[in-house]
Structures are given as C-alpha cells and as structure tokens.
Amino acid sequence: MTTVDGLTGPVDVGDAMARTPRRPWRRGGGSGGRPLGRRARWSGWLFALPALVMYAVFELYPIVTAVQYSFFDWDGISASTPVGVGNYVRVFTEPQLLASIIHSFVLILFFTVLPVLLALVVASIVREIRSKVAGGVARTLMFLPQIIPGAASAIAWTWMYSPDGAVNQLLRALGLGSLAKAWLGDFTWALPAVGVIGTWLATGLCTLLLMAGIGKIDPSLYEAASLDGAGRIQQFRAVTLPGLRQEIGVCITITIIAALASFDVVFMSTQGGPGYATQVPGVQVYQLAFTENRIGQSSALAVVLSVIVLAVILPIQRFFRER
C-alpha cells in the first residue's frame, strides 16, 4: 500500500486512480493516438461523398459542359466551330430568343404576383374559420393541385380551354358567349391562358406556406390590435404581413424560379405556339438542342437563363433576410 503524507490517514494511490474516471480525448487530439476530431471530420466527408459525387456528375459537370458548348457552333454530330461570344450576342439580338426571355418575365405576374396575393387573402380567411373540419377541407382543396404533375395539369387545362371546353361553356352559360375563343390558339390570349395554369398550380403551395406562417404568429398580437380598435384590414397590415415576411420570401423565390424556368406547363399546352406567342427559354432551349440541332446556341441560352435567375433571386433573398 502506497501512502501519502500530510493526510488524515493512509491513502491507497492505486485504488484512487482506479476509481477516478478517465477524461475523454479533447477535440484536437493530445499525446498519443489519433485525434478524435480529425477522425470524426473524415467520417463526415465519407458519409457525404455519395451525394457529392452525384451532385458533381449530374449538376456541376453539365453546367461546365454547357458553358463550354456555348462558345461553339455545333450541331451535335459534326465538328464544332469556335464562335466566341457570338451565341450570347444572338440571344439578345434574335427577336425569337429575346421574346422568350420577355415572356418568362411576363409569366412572373401569373406565377408569382397573383398566387402570393391570392394566398394572402385565402390564408387570412382560413385563419378566421373556427371549425377544424372546415379548415382541414380548405387546406386539402388548396393543396390538391400540388399532387398533380404540371404536365397532367397542362393537359387538363388544354381540354378546358378548347372551343367546346369548360371555360367557353361557362362563358356561354353566363351570357358571355361573345368572349368564347380558342384560348391557346389566340396570339393575344395564349400567354395569359398559360399563365392562369401557373396561377392555379402555385396558389395552393403559397397558401399552405402562409397558413403555416400565420400559425406561428402569437395570437396575443391580434388580441392587442383588436383591443386598440384595429379592424381586420389593419390587423392584416400591422400583424399578419410583418409576421409572414420570411414565408412570403420563400413563396416569391419558388414561384419566380418556376416562372423563369417554366417548361412542362408551356410545352404540354402550347409547345411555344401559336407561332412564338408563348415561347419561353425552357422550351426554346429544348427546341434549339433537339429540333434545330443548335447545341451551342441552346447552351448559351441556358447559361443566360441561369444568370438571369440568380440575378433576380439573390437580391430578393437578401431583402427578405434583412430585419
């Protein structure tokens, strides 16, 4: 037995050391052995490796390839010819290509502005519904378009827009038969008709996001505003809108991307027609690459579209992140 002087009695040092719990290694290592933090860091990268490989193969590599192709005149088969920035110049000088970009910005009105405004109104109305059953039914009906693929929705709306479809039949039943027309075949009304499809698809998603945001707002804020004499509109402006800042930002971001990069709804309903009345960059990229065999021009338009999306979305994200 080993003793330590100066204590009230003899102490068994070996027994005390055996009963003393060992401290775990600190992150950053120590003397002897492999540092635990480094091993954990490498194991994290190993778990993320499959996702990183998939992202590099299916995202980064196609982006780099598209940028490379955009500087060449290539039909996909024969030898390519360098053209410098000629493809990018044509994007902004050819009326057909420039019109497709303008149409995508017009669709923002239908894919973003109208859905967000309608969702704000619907979400505020549903908040006032005290019945849980009625509120659940409203949520289900609003989310229904989200479980239907965009291509299927476009086909269904194409039937409704036909000369004998539901839209024209409703107009005739209301005594407005003079307004009936082949909506998707009209050069003036084809683009707004396609936009209405986007409005129908986006309103439900925006409504659900805003309803979830309203559920996080403290009810005492509405009670305090009501005690101060604020009406429903004033409560909406002073309580609901500030409380939904982040949710509105998410809705605007998602729907603007859907408008600028729209493909399925336009392709399945009009394929860019009549003429080029509903042509958008997504459909134009597809047709340039697989119909006209203009791979370089298609890649340049795709790169321009990506830059436009980032240029529009990044300021919006920053604005809604600011307090």
Whose CA is closest to 271, among 258, 257, 259, 287?
287
Domain boundaries along the sequence of the chain? 36-69, 86-321
Asked if residue 201 lies in contact with residue 265, where contact means CB atoms within 8 angstroms, the answer is: yes
Structural tokens at position 154 = 């476009």
Q: What's the confidence (pLDDT) of residue 321?
A: 80
Orientation of helix 190-215 relative to helix 114-128, angle to 10°: 40
Task: Report residue 147's pLDDT band, with 50, 70 and 90 as the boundaries.
Answer: confident
CA angle at residue 203 from 97 to 304, to 5 degrees?
20
Tens of pLDDT, residues 96-107: 999 999 999 999
CA angle at residue 149 from 148 to 150, to 5 degrees?
115
Q: What's the confidence (pLDDT) of residue 31?
A: 47
CB-based burial of residue 322 (10 Å sphere; 0-12 exposed, 13-18 middle, 19+ buried)?
Answer: exposed
pTM to 2 decimals? Answer: 0.82
What is the Cα Rg of the chain in Å? 30
CA 32 to chain centre: 50
Structural tokens at position 253 = 């971001």
Tens of pLDDT, residues 157-216: 999 999 999 999 999 999 999 999 999 999 999 999 999 999 999 998 999 899 889 888
Whether 8 has a pLDDT exceeding 80, the answer reads no
Supply the CATH classification number for the domain 86-321: 1.10.3720.10
Task: Report residue 95's pLDDT band, with 50, 70 and 90 as the boundaries.
Answer: very high
